[in-house]
Chain A
Amino acid sequence: DVKVTQSSRYLVKRTGEKVFLECVQDMDHENMFWYRQDPGLGLRLIYFSYDVKMKEKGDIPEGYSVSREKKERFSLILESASTNQTSMYLCASSVDGHNSPLHFGNGTRLTVT
């Protein structure tokens, strides 16, 4: 079974702090993703990566950056956290291809105060 592990389940940060959300997958998947989930808005794609050191912006990349130095690890970075970034963040991975299902972690609930 694919396992996608997000390092923190809950996180509380202050406005202006630099925040790192970490995600690790154990199935040698090529693709990794960061989504943000908000009530009534569903899941929105922030960034994804289709290979090591390769990344592409999703629908809402503003205020975020990502890093993928190793195949199994994909980090989401909030350079200067703001209150409107309070949300549930979901990491996912998939094998190569355009029709592969995504495997999700359990999410990190980030609160920015």
Chain B
Amino acid sequence: AQSVTQLDSQVPVFEEAPVELRCNYSSSVSVYLFWYVQYPNQGLQLLLKYLSGSTLVKGINGFEAEFNKSQTSFHLRKPSVHISDTAEYFCAVSERYALNFGKGTSLLVTP
């Protein structure tokens, strides 16, 4: 089964600082990768997805991710975070019809 590993369970960062949330995937074959965000007391919202093509993927709210096949990584980045980016972030890989999710990274942005 395809799987992802999110390397940090919590990432504290100051407002306006850059952030990187790390994700590694297991598969050596073609993969479809996703990042989701979950704000408190809400469901998951799609941030961005990599299906093929350009390895740099831009998403909503100023986030982007880079697909790196040699390092089997799909790290999420934002050059300057805002307080409102405080949330849980999930990396996921496609497995047949469903998605397999990582355990999540809690991003805490403080003033």
Contacts and interface: CB of A to CB of B under 8 A. Distances in A.
A6 to B, nearest CB: 8
Interface stretch (B14-22, B42-50, B61-69, B77-85): B42-50
Contacts of A44: 101
B90 A43 contact: yes
Given A43-B90, A101-B49, A48 B103 contact: no
Interface size class of A (residues with CB under 8 A): 20 to 34
Interface residues of B, number: 23
B101 A107 contact: no
A43 B34 CA distance: 14
Contact of A98 (B36, B96, B103): B96
B104 A33 contact: no
B51 to A, nearest CB: 5
Contacts of B103: 40-42
A67 B74 CA distance: 35
Contact of B43 (A31, A45, A56, A107): A107
Interface in A66-113: 90, 92, 94, 98-99, 101-107
Interface string B23-63: 00000000010101000011111100101000000000000
9 contacts: A40-B9, A42-B103, A45-B100, A98-B32, A99-B49, A101-B34, A102-B99, A107-B42, A107-B43
Interface of A: 4, 31, 33, 35, 40-45, 48, 50, 56, 58, 90, 92, 94, 98-99, 101-107
Instruction: List 8 tightest A-B contacts by C-beta distance, closest first.
Output: A104-B43, A42-B103, A99-B32, A43-B101, A104-B44, A106-B43, A42-B101, A101-B46
